[in-house]
Amino acid sequence: MIFKGAATAMVTPFKDGQVNYEKYGEMIEWQIARGIDALVTCGTTGEGSTLSDEEHKKVMTYCVQKVAKRVPVIAGTGSNDTAYCVQLSQYAEKIGVDALMLVTPYYNKTTQRGLINHFQHVADQVNLPIIVYNVPSRTGMRIEADTVVALSKHKNIVAMKDATGDISYAAEVFSKLRGIDFDIYSGNDDMVLPLLSLGAAGVISVVSNVMPNETHEMVTSFLEGNIEKSRELQLSMNKFINTLFIETNPIPVKTCMNLMGLEAGDLRMPLYEMSPANLDVLKAAMQEIGLVIQ
């Protein structure tokens, strides 16, 4: 198992168009001090698709060195170009990441047979545990349950991040994986408890960028048998979680962090600042849950 609990899909802080490594380091320390179980670098929330090849490699390297094995570091190295995905994944292995997260190929997409071939081909080229990332709202395609079972047979493909938002799909996947050593992580912060109830090992989270301790406790409470505490945390956080997605992620969460003084910095185009009306909604949600606006 790569990790059990909550992993933060970290934002990448920018300043004047460049990666702000000083603030990135402060965020890493802030996360670890608040009990996060793992960190994901260069994923969707980290705007990995807008990082140049040089930036992508430098951000991964910085994260690995800063974390220094205190928690697992998972690197987003997926691409719609299989050859580039292999290149980036091999680099991540060389610098010492603990695992890879590979999104399904987007835009050009493929078939389910093509997905199996893509993921297995990348997995053959590295010796790291791999989380396949299932997010059809971003990629235009879903990893079907039978495809997940096929992928689970590869020794390096050990988990899936399920961001489908479909509990029926999740139940089908868990049913077909019974008896197979393969982990599922929730990719939706508003569905952590439902997926844990089916057997998930944790969450790869956006909200934990600003509430790492609470997100960690939501998962660990459930895994330790304190279902009531876990349920209360899920329900108390859900309105705020939904507010973090009123515009495209990571627009609201970076805005929230900036309001808190965490200095997440700019968004990279084509992402753009929140509308004034939605900004008011975000501020109200922050105040309701007790996050201090500086």
CATH number of the domain encompassing residue 193? 3.20.20.70
Q: Is residue 259 part of a domain?
A: no
Distances (CA, A) of 291 to 26, 217, 248: 19, 17, 21
What is the domain extent for residue 71?
Answer: 5-236
What pLDDT, on a 0 to 100 scale, did the predictor assign at position 41? Answer: 98
Q: Is residue 287 part of a domain?
A: no
Q: What is the pTM of this model?
A: 0.95
What pLDDT, on a 0 to 100 scale, did the predictor assign at position 158? Answer: 98
What pLDDT, on a 0 to 100 scale, did the predictor assign at position 294? Answer: 86
What pLDDT, on a 0 to 100 scale, did the predictor assign at position 176? Answer: 97
Q: Is residue 290 part of a domain?
A: no
Q: Is residue 103 part of a domain?
A: yes
Q: Which of 133, 169, 185, 254 is catalytic?
A: 133
Please confirm, yes or no, whether 133 is among the known catalytic residues. yes
Q: Is residue 224 part of a domain?
A: yes
What pLDDT, on a 0 to 100 scale, did the predictor assign at position 218? Answer: 98
What pLDDT, on a 0 to 100 scale, did the predictor assign at position 131? Answer: 98
Ranges of the chain whose pLDDT falls below 70: none
Alpha carbon distance 22, 236 (integer Å): 33
Q: Which of 161, 169, 185, 254 is catalytic?
A: 161
Give me the number of domains the chain comprises: 1
What pLDDT, on a 0 to 100 scale, did the predictor assign at position 37? Answer: 98
Q: Is residue 134 part of a domain?
A: yes
Q: Is residue 248 part of a domain?
A: no
Q: Is residue 31 part of a domain?
A: yes
